[in-house]
Structure 1
Amino acid sequence: MANAGLSGTEKRVAFSLAGVFGLRMLGLFMIMPVFALYGQHLQGFSPLWVGIAIGAYGLTQALLQIPMGILSDKIGRKPVILGGLVLFAIGSVVAAMSTSIYGVVAGRAIQGMGAIAAAVLALAADLTRDEQRTKVMAIIGMCIGGSFAVALLLGPVVAQHLGLSGLFGLTGVLAIVGMIIMQLLVPNPVHHAPAGDTLAQTGKLWQMLKDPQLFRLDAGIFLLHLVLTAVFVALPLDLVDAGLVKEKHWMLYFPAFVGSFMLMVPMIIIGVKRQNTKQMFQIALVIMVLALSLMASLPHSLVALSIAIIAFFTGFNYLEASLPSLISKFCPVGAKGSAMGVYSTSQFLGAFCGGLFGGGAYQLLGSVGVFVVAVVLMLIWIGLTFGMRNPTLLKSYTLEAAVQGREQAKQMAAKLSQLDGVAEAIVVLEEKVAYLKVNDQFDLTAARAVLGSAN
């Protein structure tokens, strides 16, 4: 029957995919705070090329998210994820061996070509039940946020001892560890959607772009990462002006991340239990507006900035965790890879544009200007949410499956998908269970007969 908590497989999926995603993002984040300082020996070094080197990753990520998402619908999530990690490792080696800024740009672009975000999020959605999806996405989101906090601590330390080449080499090692986790810990789902909805098509991409609910979510993740990247152009400089030396910034960021996670979890629980996702969504946005306003009002007060950072990441972490789950609920069944591709493209475009916007706004208007414009963008997002719907939850079942092999699992999933009322059917061989997402027309007895178990 429907389970109030995560199953064994869902826990394994959540933490293993969070580990893969987190290790990859850790490799990215560790470069950002040190590249301009430790890359000055590279031939052709200039501030412009530093920006290009950092932006090349986000740009290629954005360009390839949709194609990789579609590919994951066609050949499977895990092959796409493993291939993307291989590209990330190759890009790391290219960057590590480069003696010029141009070689680093090439390496960063290759890293970005391993665009696995859409496939990872789609795989997480494939392997989790509807009512548990927010929890799983929250774990992945928290791991991404945590990787950023750890990167702020490890990046300068690793660069100091190993140099820029050693740091790039370490990112390659992290990619290899991610591949091992994928192979050993992540289950292989058997996923069948209703006939005619199993593969993503180009026409569906346009339909999803036109969908008002999906558009709001895609625009939201664009604005969220634009603001995040822009804030971290100005905030570290304000912290220095407020009296916190750069070597001690991690002593503020790390506890702030921990505190924000503790505040974010109750928001998720309340949103799920009361089915008021829209209201909690808007509350998170208001929290971010208040945090940014505090940063703009008291940019030289360390106490004010500390409070603002905790509030900012409370709202950010809730939104980061909730958005992928909402995408999976509103997108057409069987086209998660395509929907997540549009979503992740928007996310990385936001990060790329945020770097350009943050640097330009800081140069023209100072840190206060960056925060004020960020507040305006958040208010625009709040306006977009007024047309947002609370997602309708379908009933989910976890049923035992008397399955002995992969072909039998495929046959069971195909038969389940043809039953009245079944919106989605996934049979996981490793745990010998079937996850069903159904409506009121669903006949439980017929499903039990297909699964060959009394349940």
Structure 2
Amino acid sequence: MRNYKILPEEKKSILILSVIYFLRMTGMFMIVPVISIYGNHIKDTNEFLIGLSIGIYGITQAFFQIPFGLLSDKFNQKILIYIGLIIILIGSTISYICQSIKGIIFGRFLQGIGAISSPIMTLLFDLTREHLHSKVISFIGFSIGLSFLCSIFLSFYIVNHFGIFNVFSLISFLTFVSMILLYFTPNSKKHIFNRETKIIGNDLLKILFKKNIINLNISIFLLHLILMFSFLSIPLKLIAFNVSKFYNYKLYFLSILISFFISPLIISFCEKTKRIKKLFINSIIFIILSEIFIFYNLSEKFFIISGIQIFFISFNILEILIPSLINKICKAGYKGTAMGIYSTSQFFGVALGGILGGYILHNFEINYLFLTIIVLSIFWLFLIKNIPEPIYVSSVRIMIKNDLYNNLNIKNKLYKIKGIISFLIIPEKNVIYLQIDENKVSVKKIKKLLKK
């Protein structure tokens, strides 16, 4: 019988690596909410360069996300994480020392190369038992949410008291702390190869051109492009309505905090009532409505504040929903690769959102940025209107013995078991990956039927 209790060594690994993930994500987010407000005080800057300083990080993250993921299966993960953290430290230090917009751009370019998400997750999965991996993912998810909130508070506090360049000195300090913490992380004694958590190079083309997967990758791309547009435009709109720069952070902080509590409740209700497709479509509609609220110069601040709150609730719903849908739609054994492509699409959205948003602000009025968001959201709405209601499945991995695979026609047995949605057999690894409907069949029953 499985022991679901987290062992002391596992607790240590989860805690340390979740903190490292938290510190890294805090550093990544920290410059985004403040650069559009305070960036104009930097010498020789303009709106386009401000947008480029946000987007350049996404470009290098997007290009290095999959390579780091592939390397994490072949090399020591701790060494890869150290390399990534050193690159982030160098980039942050350059941004602080140069004290210029070009220094920020080059520093952010280097920061993005340190794409350590995959090595951290691989090391975490190696240091914990397989049936605890869902808990591990929830810890990492919590650390990302917390880092987003903390970065809002810290960035505005530091900029108001110490100046914008000291944001990078704090990022350098957080990166150095992460390197110290990594030293105390246990070493992986045995690497566990699991296709559901790893990027498989040979599978990239198989996943890349699946219609529903393409639409979901375009969705995460558009969502983060719209987020970057919003971070560039909303603060300027608030200032135009005589909302002080320092009050910006309180508004952001409260809006995001409220959305963190409301979004999971809405998703949970819609999953129970099988209304995920409706929720997806309605969230995009609410993003359009929120931008209209902010776009029109209504006399009451209430409309802008309401628009910001609606935007962040809708954003967080979609941020949770899209990867969940990829996991449900993707066939057994291909989830790790699909999520690698998803992360790359996400960072390309950040990249183009920052660069294109900066270009629009530099060459046109701010309202054109809101109009672009509305047009893109309408296009997005038509793109996903035919997406199917997801099948509610669980992904499992079953180890098989050599003699069992050689002596029995496993494929025929699996086809006959009701409740198995898809499966992938990897004979050389003695493993079967399955997608199952747990209302119809259990893992215990599948194992029993295979042994007969």
Q: TM-score, normalised by structure 2?
A: 0.75
Q: Does the residue aligned with 1:249 lie in a helix, a strand or coil?
A: helix
Query: What amino acid is the match of 1:106?
Result: F
Partner of 2:115: 115
Task: Sort the Cα spacing of 1:241 and 1:48 in 2 relative to 1 into closer, same or farther, 3 A.
Answer: closer
What is the root-mean-square deviation of aligned Cα atoms in Å?
A: 4.5
Query: What amino acid is the match of 2:270?
Result: G
Partner of 1:404: none
Q: 8 Å contact 2:17–2:120 — kept in the other structure?
A: yes
Q: 8 Å contact 1:119–1:337 — kept in the other structure?
A: no
Q: 1:340-351 residue pairs with structure 2 within 5 A?
A: 340-351=339-350
Where do 5+ consecutive residues of structure 2 fail to align? Answer: 415-419, 426-431
Deviation of 1:137 (Å) = 6.1
1:87 aligns with 2:87: yes
Task: Sort the Cα spacing of 1:130 and 1:252 in 2 relative to 1 into closer, same or farther, 3 A.
Answer: farther
Partner of 2:214: 215
Q: Distance in 1 between matches of 2:239 and 2:385?
A: 38
Q: Distance in 1 between matches of 2:391 and 2:124?
A: 20
Query: Residues 399-425 of structure 1, C-alpha deviation per residue, up to 9 Å, x if partnerless?
Result: xxxxxxxxxxxxx95759x87569599
Partner of 1:287: 286
Q: 8 Å contact 2:256–2:312 — kept in the other structure?
A: yes
Q: Distance in 2 between matches of 1:269 and 1:7?
A: 25
Deviation of 1:166 (Å) = 3.5
Q: Distance in 2 between matches of 1:109 and 1:336?
A: 29
Partner of 1:25: 25
1:167 aligns with 2:167: yes
Deviation of 1:228 (Å) = 0.8
Partner of 1:304: 303
Q: Does the residue aligned with 1:115 lie in a helix, a strand or coil?
A: coil
Partner of 2:378: 379
Q: Distance in 2 between matches of 1:76 and 1:152?
A: 34
Where do 5+ consecutive residues of structure 1 fail to align? Answer: 399-411, 426-434, 451-455
Partner of 2:153: 153
Q: Distance in 2 between matches of 1:267 and 1:205?
A: 33
Query: What amino acid is the match of 1:339?
Result: A
Partner of 2:259: 260
Deviation of 1:309 (Å) = 1.1
Q: Distance in 1 between matches of 2:291 and 2:149?
A: 19
Q: Distance in 1 between matches of 2:441 and 2:76?
A: 30
Deviation of 1:57 (Å) = 1.6
Task: Sort the Cα spacing of 1:27 and 1:378 in 2 relative to 1 into closer, same or farther, 3 A.
Answer: same
Task: Sort the Cα spacing of 1:269 and 1:140 in 2 relative to 1 into closer, same or farther, 3 A.
Answer: farther
Partner of 1:66: 66
Deviation of 1:385 (Å) = 1.9
Partner of 2:317: 318
Query: Residues 247-266 of structure 1, C-alpha deviation per residue, up to 9 Å, x if partnerless?
Result: 21122111111211221021
Q: 8 Å contact 1:228–1:354 — kept in the other structure?
A: yes
Q: Distance in 2 between matches of 1:199 and 1:142?
A: 23
Query: Residues 220-251 of structure 1, C-alpha deviation per residue, up to 9 Å, x if partnerless?
Result: 11100111111122111111222311121122
1:57 aligns with 2:57: yes
Q: Distance in 2 between matches of 1:308 and 1:363?
A: 24
Q: Distance in 2 between matches of 1:64 and 1:312?
A: 30
Partner of 1:356: 355
Query: What amino acid is the match of 1:284?
Result: S
Q: Distance in 2 between matches of 1:303 and 1:89?
A: 41
Q: Distance in 1 between matches of 2:111 and 2:71?
A: 18
Q: 8 Å contact 2:48–2:358 — kept in the other structure?
A: no
Q: 1:110-149 residue pairs with structure 2 within 5 A?
A: 110-117=110-117, 140=140, 143-149=143-149
Q: Distance in 2 between matches of 1:381 and 1:269?
A: 24
Q: Distance in 1 between matches of 2:313 and 2:137?
A: 15
Partner of 1:98: 98
Q: Distance in 1 between matches of 2:93 and 2:216?
A: 35
Q: Does the residue aligned with 2:365 lie in a helix, a strand or coil?
A: helix
Partner of 1:366: 365
1:444 aligns with 2:444: yes
Task: Sort the Cα spacing of 1:345 and 1:276 in 2 relative to 1 into closer, same or farther, 3 A.
Answer: same
Query: What amino acid is the match of 1:218?
Result: N
Q: Which moved more, 1:328-337 or 1:276-285?
A: 328-337
Q: TM-score, normalised by structure 1?
A: 0.75
Deviation of 1:339 (Å) = 2.5
Q: Does the residue aligned with 1:25 lie in a helix, a strand or coil?
A: helix
Q: 8 Å contact 1:141–1:321 — kept in the other structure?
A: no
Q: Distance in 1 between matches of 2:187 and 2:352?
A: 36
Q: Distance in 1 between matches of 2:132 and 2:283?
A: 21
1:224 aligns with 2:223: yes
Q: Distance in 2 between matches of 1:103 and 1:338?
A: 34
Q: 1:400-415 residue pairs with structure 2 within 5 A?
A: 415=401
Query: What amino acid is the match of 1:303?
Result: F
Q: Percent of aligned pairs with the same residue?
A: 31
Task: Sort the Cα spacing of 1:180 and 1:366 in 2 relative to 1 into closer, same or farther, 3 A.
Answer: same
Q: 8 Å contact 2:195–2:336 — kept in the other structure?
A: no
Partner of 1:236: 235
Task: Sort the Cα spacing of 1:240 and 1:226 in 2 relative to 1 into closer, same or farther, 3 A.
Answer: same
Task: Sort the Cα spacing of 1:98 and 1:216 in 2 relative to 1 into closer, same or farther, 3 A.
Answer: same
Partner of 1:251: 250
Task: Sort the Cα spacing of 1:181 and 1:394 in 2 relative to 1 into closer, same or farther, 3 A.
Answer: farther
Q: Distance in 2 between matches of 1:274 and 1:181?
A: 43
Q: Distance in 2 between matches of 1:46 and 1:367?
A: 14
Task: Sort the Cα spacing of 1:41 and 1:393 in 2 relative to 1 into closer, same or farther, 3 A.
Answer: closer
Q: 8 Å contact 1:118–1:337 — kept in the other structure?
A: no
Q: Distance in 2 between matches of 1:227 and 1:292?
A: 10
Task: Sort the Cα spacing of 1:49 and 1:128 in 2 relative to 1 into closer, same or farther, 3 A.
Answer: farther
Task: Sort the Cα spacing of 1:194 and 1:292 in 2 relative to 1 into closer, same or farther, 3 A.
Answer: closer
